Amino acid sequence: LETGESRDYPISVIVSKPISETRITCVNPCAIEKKTATLTCEASGLPSPRYSWFYGSV
């Protein structure tokens, strides 16, 4: 650029938002030992959120 010139540049501002709601829904029983349990999580954002599920003392 020369002195006095301007140029436009596209920018993206990414803001992290905390999860606004936690909801656990169970039908009795929620899980049975040594059986498969299904966990779901829905969220959106930019960049797309990543999920990790842990069990025990991780």
Torsion of CA 24, 49, 38, 29, to 10 degrees: -10
List, in order, residues 6 or more apart from 17 with CB less than 8 Å away. Answer: 45
Residue 6 reports pLDDT greater than 80: yes
pLDDT per position as a tens digit, 17-58 = 666 666 666 666 677 888 887 777 777 777 777 777 777 765
pLDDT on residue 48: 78
pLDDT on residue 47: 75
pTM of the model: 0.33
pLDDT on residue 58: 56
